[in-house]
Structure 1
Amino acid sequence: MTAGAGDAVRAAVITASDRAASGERPDATGPELIARLAAAGYACDAAIVIPDGEESVADALRAALDSGARLVVTTGGTGVGPRDRTPEGTRPVLERELPGIPELLRREGAESTPFAVLTRGIAGVTGEALIVNLPGSTRGAIEGLGALLPLVPHVLDQLRGGDHR
């Protein structure tokens, strides 16, 4: 995936997890997503690990956008637990939501597990960037990224004024 002129599109991965942020357990999902994004041609740094919560998510998203990321995926914090607040931290950063993307992710995920329908993840755009909340489970996040990646070039092209396909 290139942005033209030989520059790879910057992507960022944010892992929202109290346990990973505290060092209680390693972040298994973020590095898997980074590896898959890099294999798809995106320029990525290591995953950013933050504690769960609305403010930490919003701050991390804004920092990723400020660093030039045009694709930002989060993993974790989309369930119904008391600290699962990733969608609430994402929504104020978005200019426009894209409800079809989370619908696709839930539909595709439900083929693997009925629990996929419980994710509250959202997706949308701001400026020239796409932001998508993926589930926290490694398998769910990887499957979600697989469903998302074919859409990304078109969305990013549209954000820069490209023609509809």
Structure 2
Amino acid sequence: MEWKVGVLTISDKGSRGEREDQSGVVLQELVQGINGQITAYEIIPDEQPLIEQKMIELSDQRHCELILTTGGTGFAARDVTPEATKAVIDKEAPGLAERMRAATLVHTKFAILSRATSGIRGNTLIINLPGSPKGVRECFESIQDVLPHALQILRGNTEHEGGVTK
């Protein structure tokens, strides 16, 4: 089964062409492991209204089933990705962010400083990931095994057989 995936890199420098987007490229490679098809990819600045607008567009108009963001999840004043995500989701999905923090804590003590969040808007799952390629890889790999199941549920396939969605 293939999933429509949107990737948003949130980076002031990246959006101005002052920094190469390595994290977004890593995400595009990683989603292939869950049969993800990248249908949207953008690099945008750390501006909350713009982040919200892009998430809504990818979910509501472009019908992405999964939106992955990279960047803007730390303590800096312009890190507003979690706030933008919370503003557009209908329901939170805290277990995904909790799992990512727990899994990456074995690699770095700074994992506890991540403010990444995740949630559901309509039939779209939105997940915030850190802004570094290493962090993106570690976080994504910690949750990738449950993403197909989560996406199947959002497609309406809620029948379970032996604890797994059919």
Do Structure 1 and Structure 2 share a fold, with TM-score over 0.5? yes
1:148 aligns with 2:108: no
The percentage of aligned residue pairs carrying the same residue is: 34
Whole-Å separation in 1 of the counterparts to 2:55 and 2:16: 19
- How does 1:88-99 map onto structure 2 within 5 Å? 88-99=83-94
Structure 2 match to 1:158: 153
Listed as ranges, the gaps of 5+ residues in structure 1 are 3-7
Contact 1:34/1:46, CA 8 A, preserved across alignment = no
Indicate which of 8, 20, 23 corresponds to 1:26.
20
Whole-Å separation in 2 of the counterparts to 1:100 and 1:40: 19
Runs of at least 4 residues of structure 1 off by over 2 A?
A: none
Structure 2 match to 1:118: 113
| Greater mean alpha carbon deviation, residues 79-88 or residues 153-162 | 153-162
Q: What's the offset of the Cα at 1:50?
A: 0.3
Contact 1:124/1:132, CA 8 A, preserved across alignment = yes
Would you say how many aligned residue pairs link Structure 1 and Structure 2? 159
| Greater mean alpha carbon deviation, residues 141-150 or residues 154-163 | 154-163
Contact 2:5/2:40, CA 8 A, preserved across alignment = no
- How does 1:1-165 map onto structure 2 within 5 Å? 2=1, 8-45=2-39, 47-65=41-59, 66-159=61-154, 160-164=156-160, 165=163
TM-score by length of 1: 0.91
Q: What's the offset of the Cα at 1:161?
A: 4.4
Whole-Å separation in 1 of the counterparts to 2:96 and 2:31: 18
User: Alignment partner of 1:77: what SS?
Assistant: coil
Listed as ranges, the gaps of 5+ residues in structure 2 are none
Q: What's the offset of the Cα at 1:40?
A: 3.1
Identify the structure with the greater strand proportion: 2
Counterpart code for 1:70: E
Whole-Å separation in 1 of the counterparts to 2:3 and 2:74: 29
Contact 1:31/1:46, CA 8 A, preserved across alignment = no
Whole-Å separation in 2 of the counterparts to 1:91 and 1:131: 10
